[in-house]
Structure formats: structure tokens, C-alpha cells
């Protein structure tokens, strides 16, 4: 692993004792999980997006979602028992996590947030997750991710995005 790959997320993964493999790719300003999957020759379903949602009275939360799916804010709000949930604006998400949007990781975040993981992610053998900067993913076992983050499995998928 290169020196510049030592992000807070990488350090947190190491501290948690998770086995992971880093993957760097050419990053563009827009494109997200679909672009990362294309660059690395991966199935976008296995590239996991780390999203920050404002859950009203429950505060901000992380939602881990398949790269080819979208979060249903309505379903998420129901799961959380709040009136409404919405994606946090990029500036707010960056302030909360310390990461630039597009490189957000649930590991090593500036603020520890509750983590909700789309249940189907746990059915995969391996997923690719942002590692704290754009252009850097780590391959990990999703069940180990859920355990390390004390993530709550949920169903809040609205549709495929491909």
C-alpha cells in the first residue's frame, strides 16, 4: 500500500482488525460507484456507496447501499421511526465525516454515526467500499464490515440506478 493510501479509513480498518485489499482507480469528478465499478471491472451491485442521511430528530446516519441502487428516503424514515429522512447536503456530509463526498467511508469518520446497511449487501461474499478518498476502494467481507461498525441491516432500496 502506498504512503498516500494511509487515510483515516485505512487506519480504522487496520485498528478494527479487518482483512481488506486496497484498489486504486482513476477518479473523475462525477460518476460515483458506477465509474469505480467500470474502472476496476467490478459489478456495480458489489460496490457499496456510503451515504450520509439527515434523519431529522434522530440526527445524521450512514447508509450503506449497493452501487446500482438508490435509497428510499421514505423507507429509511419508517425504519428509523422518524417523520422524514433526506440525503445530507454535500457540505454538511463533508463537515460531519471529514471526507469529501465521493470518498466517504463509514470507517474513520470525524463523527461516529449510526450505520444502516442494506440487507442484500450481507448476502455478497465481497464488497468494495470507499476508503477515505476519491479513487480508493477496499475489498472487504460485508459481514465483517457490519460487525465492526455495529451496523443495522435494513431494507430501504427504491430502484436500480443503471
Domains of the chain: 3-160 (3.90.960.10)
Which three cell numbers, joined as nine digits, stand for 155? 431494507
pLDDT at 1: 45
Give 113's Cβ-side CA count (13 Å radius): 29
Which three cell numbers, joined as nine digits, stand for 139? 475489498
61-114: pLDDT as tens digits: 999 999 999 999 999 999 999 999 999 999 999 999 999 999 999 999 999 999
Angle at 125 between CA 157 and CA 52, to 5 degrees: 40
Query: Is the four-CA dihedral 49, 50, 52, 55 of positive or negative sign?
Result: positive
Cα 11 to Cα 20, 27, 71, 106, distances in angstroms: 11, 22, 28, 12
User: Rounded to an integer, what distance in angstroms lies between the CA atom of residue 87 and that of residue 74?
Assistant: 11
pLDDT at 2: 45
pLDDT at 158: 72
Q: Supply the pTM of this predicted model.
A: 0.93
Mean predicted confidence (pLDDT) in 18-22: 96
Amino acid at each position: 500500500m502506498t504512503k498516500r493510501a494511509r487515510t483515516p479509513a485505512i487506519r480504522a480498518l487496520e485498528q478494527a482488525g479487518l482483512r481488506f485489499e486496497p484498489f486504486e482507480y482513476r477518479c473523475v469528478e462525477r460518476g460515483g460507484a458506477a465509474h469505480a465499478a467500470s474502472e476496476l471491472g467490478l459489478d456495480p451491485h458489489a460496490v457499496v456507496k456510503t451515504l450520509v442521511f439527515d434523519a431529522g430528530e434522530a440526527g445524521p446516519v450512514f447508509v450503506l447501499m449497493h452501487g446500482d441502487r438508490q435509497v428510499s428516503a421514505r423507507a429509511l424514515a419508517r425504519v428509523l421511526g422518524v417523520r422524514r429522512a433526506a440525503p445530507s447536503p454535500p457540505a454538511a456530509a463533508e463537515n460531519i465525516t471529514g471526507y469529501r463526498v465521493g470518498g466517504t467511508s463509514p470507517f474513520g469518520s470525524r463523527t461516529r454515526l449510526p450505520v444502516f446497511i442494506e440487507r442484500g449487501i450481507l448476502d455478497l461474499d465481497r464488497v468494495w467500499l470507499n476508503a477515505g478518498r476519491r479513487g480508493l476502494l477496499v475489498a472487504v467481507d460485508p459481514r465483517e464490515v457490519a460487525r465492526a461498525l455495529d451496523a443495522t441491516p435494513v431494507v430501504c432500496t427504491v430502484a436500480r440506478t443503471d
